[in-house]
Chain A
Amino acid sequence: MSNKKLKDKVLKHLKIMGWKNITPESAPIELWNHGENQIVLPVDSLIQHSQSIALLEAAISSIFEIDKVNLNLEFEVDRVSVQASGQNIGYGRIIYQEGLKALSGLYEIIKNNASSNINIKGKTKYVNEYMSEVHMMAPDSGSMIYKAELGLYEPQEDNDNESFQDLGSLGRVLNSRCAKLVLKAAKTFESSREFSPAELMHVGIDIKFCEAFVNLFSASSETLRFQFDWSPKEIVSDDVPTEVLFNIAHKEAAQKYVKAFKKTESLSLVEQPAIIEKYSWPQDATKGKVSFKTSLDNIDYSMTYETDEILYLRLKQEKVKKEVALSGKFLRTKNKKSKLEILSLVSIKIGPQDTLDIDEPDIDN
């Protein structure tokens, strides 16, 4: 490993662990303090100097002594750490109840992610096997840091499933999707736009995620920093994050969405009568929109369904006001403005002998 990479590895650790850079300007070395401890690193401009490797090795050795972390290990698993910081959080010390809830929150995020991303025969078995390779690590100090190792789980050889074989290990697929989901949640929660529960579910954010996130973001926390360390054993794509930051505003948004989700119910409807109301393809959009009108429990609802070009053009052959029957999953919101939204459609029956089966793509991960 080059001196630069070694230094990056050390810096990443120091930042996570709350070490403070106290280097004066134009110094030939970097000084990082943590209480009584100090670590010395070469400055970037002297990283190739013959003295630098000894400084880096000494730093790694000190980190092992002080933080009990061996940076020399080429880890064979992915890792996630979540650093909770706030004025009311001590150095590696948090209210017991909050700490437990936070740990459970992280566990739920990891497990729910696996569960919602495995949609093949034997799902329960695969989720259980994956989770048996997820290890809780001892929390670290430096505010409060929850850590887990996410194994690069490979399903046993006795299965015929080849669904994930081209993507690397199933473990890496799930781990990277978990990281992307966390990043997506950060972007969604900080958006000024208010998303409906159905819209959130379309991007993979459901009530389970929101609740788990709120638990993880405990009452004493002011910020949460997710850190993902990807094992060099497998290639990781550029769109998979290594760090995602959250603040109180994100938590408040998640709490708001939990409330919104609680006013909803998920329904599986088969051949629900509906009328095609409108077709539209907004400018520059990649999908067309088909609006339906339906009636459920004596309440009329308007619903919009987004679809690709092929299905859109096929549906458009049918006239507006055409009666159809929709089968799939729906989300009903029970508040003053009662709303029914389409989560996913399995089929649209457009005539007695004419049913369009829909192969819905996976939720956008």
Chain B
Amino acid sequence: MSANETHGKGGSAVCLSKESLSYAYISALLAKLSLNHNSPIIDDQSIDVTVYGRKFSGVWREPQLQLQLKCTNKSGCIDKKTDEIIIDLSKKNYDDLRTFSPIPKVLVVHHAPSSQEEWIKENTNSIELMNMSYWYILGGLSDSDGGKRIRIPLSQKLDSDRLIEMLKEASNLIPLTNLVLSNVE
């Protein structure tokens, strides 16, 4: 089953399944790190998951992060020349994520294999979730007339170390920043 298929084996839309894959990736990291989370019943603020830390040593003892989850398996979503993953955001998502907010907001883009069959590798004793999620901070970016194409350096992998670092920065009220700036077209 390729990226062009609209519905999966179970009959549901692939776009919904991509959300599940992205959420599964984050859930696995949260489980590994023993982080609490919840999801809004209605995502009208471009937020899919709120992550809660506990007993952090910074001034904010229970820091939070709000994550907007996206998933792409489009061909060409990885620019191999620049080592970036490309995602198109709606104007609403872009504006919601770029405005200054009390709780830090993070765009998380999951890169899924083009074939849905390959999203999960099932082994005898384990399953493997393919591929990686990448994070990006839009806070402070300029206004836009329409949607925006975001290019995220592949160096901004979202793994458990990075997630915990982001929470530490939030705990110390350090504004989250990208490793490489100006990746907006």
Which residue in B45, B62, B173 is a CB contact (below 8 Å) of A50?
B45
Known contacts A51-B45, A51-B66; is A28 also within 8 Å of B100 by CB? yes
How far apart sit A302 and B62, CA to CA, in the bound complex (Å)?
72
Cβ of B126 under 8 Å from chain A:
no
How far apart sit A28 and B176, CA to CA, in the bound complex (Å)?
12
How far apart sit A31 and B62, CA to CA, in the bound complex (Å)?
11
Which residue in A22, A31, A51 is a CB contact (below 8 Å) of B103?
A51
Q: How many Å from the CB of B51 to the closest CB on chain A?
A: 14
How far apart sit A31 and B103, CA to CA, in the bound complex (Å)?
12
- Which A residues are in CB contact (< 8 Å) with B62? 38, 40
How far apart sit A22 and B99, CA to CA, in the bound complex (Å)?
25
Are A49's CB and B101's CB within 8 A? yes
Known contacts A50-B45, A51-B45, A51-B66; is A31 also within 8 Å of B60 by CB? yes
- Which A residues are in CB contact (< 8 Å) with B45? 50-51
Within 8 A of B (CB), among A31-84: 31, 38, 40, 42-43, 46, 49-52, 55
Which residue in B61, B96, B102 is a CB contact (below 8 Å) of A46?
B102
- Which A residues are in CB contact (< 8 Å) with B24? none
How far apart sit A55 and B99, CA to CA, in the bound complex (Å)?
17
Size band of the interface chain A makes with B: 10 to 19
- Which A residues are in CB contact (< 8 Å) with B173? 24, 27-29
Are B59's CB and A24's CB within 8 A? yes
**Cβ contacts B36-48/A at 8 Å (1 or 0 each):** 0000000001000
Are B66's CB and A29's CB within 8 A? no
Question: Which residue of chain B is the closest to A25 with respect to CB atoms?
Answer: B173
How far apart sit A27 and B63, CA to CA, in the bound complex (Å)?
13
Size band of the interface chain B makes with A: 10 to 19
- Which A residues are in CB contact (< 8 Å) with B101? 28, 46, 49-51
Q: How many Å from the CB of B137 to the closest CB on chain A?
A: 13
Within 8 A of A (CB), among B57-112: 59-62, 66, 96, 99-103
Q: How many Å from the CB of B44 to the closest CB on chain A?
A: 8
How far apart sit A27 and B80, CA to CA, in the bound complex (Å)?
38
How far apart sit A129 and B110, CA to CA, in the bound complex (Å)?
69
Are A49's CB and B60's CB within 8 A? no
Are A38's CB and B61's CB within 8 A? yes
- Which B residues are in CB contact (< 8 Å) with A51? 45, 66, 101-103
Q: How many Å from the CB of A11 to the closest CB on chain B?
A: 15
- Which B residues are in CB contact (< 8 Å) with A22? 59
Q: How many Å from the CB of B20 to the closest CB on chain A?
A: 24
Are B102's CB and A42's CB within 8 A? yes
How far apart sit A22 and B61, CA to CA, in the bound complex (Å)?
12
Q: How many Å from the CB of A176 to the closest CB on chain B?
A: 37
- Which A residues are in CB contact (< 8 Å) with B66? 51
- Which A residues are in CB contact (< 8 Å) with B61? 38
Known contacts A24-B173, A28-B173, A50-B45; is A43 also within 8 Å of B102 by CB? yes
Are A31's CB and B102's CB within 8 A? no
- Which A residues are in CB contact (< 8 Å) with B102? 28-29, 40, 42-43, 46, 49, 51-52, 55
Are A31's CB and B59's CB within 8 A? yes
Q: How many Å from the CB of B65 to the closest CB on chain A?
A: 12
Question: Which residue of chain B is the closest to A40 with respect to CB atoms?
Answer: B60
Within 8 A of B (CB), among A250-292: none
Q: How many Å from the CB of B10 to the closest CB on chain A?
A: 34
Q: What are 24 A-B pairs with beta-carbon distances under 8 A?
A: A22-B59, A24-B59, A27-B173, A28-B100, A28-B101, A28-B102, A28-B173, A29-B173, A31-B59, A38-B60, A38-B61, A38-B62, A42-B102, A43-B102, A46-B100, A46-B101, A46-B102, A49-B102, A50-B96, A51-B45, A51-B101, A52-B102, A55-B102, A55-B103
- Chain B contact residues, CB within 8 Å of chain A: 45, 59-62, 66, 96, 99-103, 173
Closest 6 pairs (CB-CB, A-B): A42-B102, A50-B45, A27-B173, A29-B102, A28-B102, A51-B102
